[in-house]
Structure 1
Amino acid sequence: MHRERIPVYVVTGFLGSGKSTLLARWLKEAPFTNAALIVNEIGEVGIDHATLGFSGDASMLLAEACVCCSGLPALNEALEQLFWARLYRSVARFETVVIETTGLADPGPLVASLSLNAFVKERYRIAGTFTTIAAPNAPDTLAHFAEARAQLSGADVVIVTKTDLVDAQTLVAVEAQLSVERIGHSANASFGLQDALALLARPAHRIEHALTRPFSRPRSHDAITHFIAIDEAADIEALNTHVQSLIDRYGESLLRLKGLVRLKERASVAVVQFARGDARAHITEGPASAIKSGLTLIVRPGASR
């Protein structure tokens, strides 16, 4: 008997390109409102998983191991667990699966591995890979990071983010460098899911696809993570001072900084975000979370601590 396979969408993009912000919007739009969510993060604490605002109960976090490297078995295991949970109704019936990768992941090994695992291949199918890249530093990112180039190569749709921070001429130059046919623009997560799916459905000529590219594993990335535990901060101003000192200390070696920090005498946390190229950290107040309080830093190897 023919079994309809469950579509899997992969959302990837380099560190700080805004993929989690965009995905947070998409998870509120059909058909992702009725999706199972798998979030992969490098580091001790899954910050993105805690801040996406996903309301479904079919959600899994794969932390500490990148799925394009040593984390592939965990990804296949997660998909198997989700399938059986769906079948036996221990979670709400989902119609799609969304996988958010780390900002350093190459989607090629991930996509290929799903076609090589017999159980997963029989029950799931790759429906598309969306890749985000930030317009302000796209040329520098592509020039210096093989991971970003791999993400671009494996993309079915590329979404250029932070377009409000560049002029029209710069945006045209960025698009020319990308050399892809399906391109969307997003400023402050303005690019909706229906627009993304419409782009995905548009015919395009691909020279090379992630499914056909050779891959090897495990591999390593030119970055390491540190977690700095912070029990609580007196207020956002004091936290901002501490965060800025970290940014100054690491300088160009700091690729990404993010975290959730409890605020003293308040039933809330500070949500901290900083990416390479940002003028300063962005800190907002959010609802209380049971997640470990502190900051995750992703830095180049050899950076002083």
Structure 2
Amino acid sequence: MHRERIPVYVVTGFLGSGKSTLLARWLKEAPFSNAALIVNEIGEVGIDHATLGFSGDTSMLLADACVCCSGLPALNEALEQLFWARLHRSIERFEMVVIETTGLADPRPLVASLSLNSLVKERYRIAGTFTAIAANTALDTLSRFPEARAQLSGADAVIVTKTDLVGAQERAAVEDHIACSGTRIAHSANASFALEDALSLLAQPAPRVERTVAPPFSRLRSHDAMTRFIAIEDAPDIDALHAQVIELKERYGDSLLRLKGLVRLKDCFALVQLARGDARAQITRTSTIPNDVKSGLTLIVKPGAAR
């Protein structure tokens, strides 16, 4: 008897690429609005999972481990749990699975691992891998970070994000560079790229060029980054929080690869985001935060960075 396998979509992209912002939009649109979600984060506090606006029994967090290095068994276990819960109707029926990786993950070991677990192989299939890369830092990121090159090599489609931050000439240079990977390319400003267009992009024939392939991450040994969590309880106000972020940015300098967090203010939580290339942190008020989220900032820094 032939069984229709559940499609799995992977969303990846280097630190600060805007993949979570884009995914937050896609999860509100069909068919992802009827998907199970697995979020992988290398920090102990799951910020993306808490802020994607997607919760419930069909949403799972794999924290404090990168799936491409040490988290593959946990990923396969999560897919097994979702399948059995779906079969026994203990959760709402989902039609597909969306996996958001860490900003340092190589998606290729993840994709390969799904064929090694007998149940997962029988019940799921990879439907496509989307890689986001920020236009304003793309060329620097691809030249400096093997993780970003691995993400590009593993992409079925690349979404060049934050194109509103660059001019037409710079955007063209980025897309010309990415075209060497032989993958499909689209661009997005302010998370404007719709899910319908993304899925249509996957259906298009890939460009016929000789692909530039980065080595699998197992040959890259380990990620050249580490996480630090700074607890902050009841910050006085957003201005004081801005000042603290500026101090951290100046202290760590180029060693700071990403900063994000949820910080408790007197009357609400503030979502804090700072990526490489940002002149100023984005701090916005939010009230839709789970009760168990720790108040503070997660920093992703190079090893040996000042404390």
TM-score, L = length of structure 1: 0.95
**Residue identity opposite 1:7 in structure 2:** P
CA distance in 2, matches of 1:2, 1:88: 20
**Residue identity opposite 2:204 in structure 1:** R
CA contact (8 A) 2:150 2:217 kept: no
CA distance in 1, matches of 2:265, 2:142: 37
CA contact (8 A) 2:106 2:217 kept: no
Look up the match of 1:74: 74
Deviation at 1:216, TM superposition (A): 3.3
CA contact (8 A) 2:80 2:120 kept: yes
Look up the match of 1:293: 295
CA distance in 2, matches of 1:127, 1:295: 34
Look up the match of 2:57: 57
Stretch deviating more after TM superposition (216-225 or 103-112): 216-225
1:81-230 correspondence to structure 2 within 5 Å? 81-179=81-179, 180-204=182-206, 205=208, 207=210, 216=218, 219-230=221-232
CA distance in 2, matches of 1:133, 1:143: 13
CA contact (8 A) 1:70 1:217 kept: no
Deviations, residues 129-185 of structure 1 (Å, cap 9, x unaligned): 000000011110000000000000000000000000111111111011112341111
Structure 1 residue ranges, 4+ long, deviating more than 3 angstroms after superposition: 205-210, 213-219
Deviation at 1:209, TM superposition (A): 10
**Residue identity opposite 2:12 in structure 1:** T
**Residue identity opposite 1:108 in structure 2:** R
Distance 1:145 1:217, change over 3 A: closer
CA distance in 1, matches of 2:39, 2:209: 27
Deviation at 1:57, TM superposition (A): 3.3
SS of residue in 2 equivalent to 1:116:
coil
SS of residue in 2 equivalent to 1:216:
helix
SS of residue in 1 equivalent to 2:224:
coil
Look up the match of 1:24: 24
Deviation at 1:127, TM superposition (A): 0.1
**Residue identity opposite 2:67 in structure 1:** V
CA distance in 2, matches of 1:123, 1:217: 30
**Residue identity opposite 1:110 in structure 2:** L
Look up the match of 2:48: 48
Stretch deviating more after TM superposition (281-290 or 255-264): 281-290
CA contact (8 A) 2:105 2:151 kept: yes
Q: Percent identity?
A: 77
CA contact (8 A) 2:35 2:98 kept: yes
Look up the match of 1:3: 3
TM-score, L = length of structure 2: 0.95
Look up the match of 2:244: 242
Look up the match of 1:39: 39
CA contact (8 A) 2:225 2:300 kept: yes
**Residue identity opposite 2:81 in structure 1:** Q
SS of residue in 2 equivalent to 1:115:
coil
CA contact (8 A) 1:69 1:217 kept: no
CA distance in 2, matches of 1:181, 1:103: 20
CA distance in 2, matches of 1:258, 1:143: 24
Distance 1:148 1:218, change over 3 A: closer
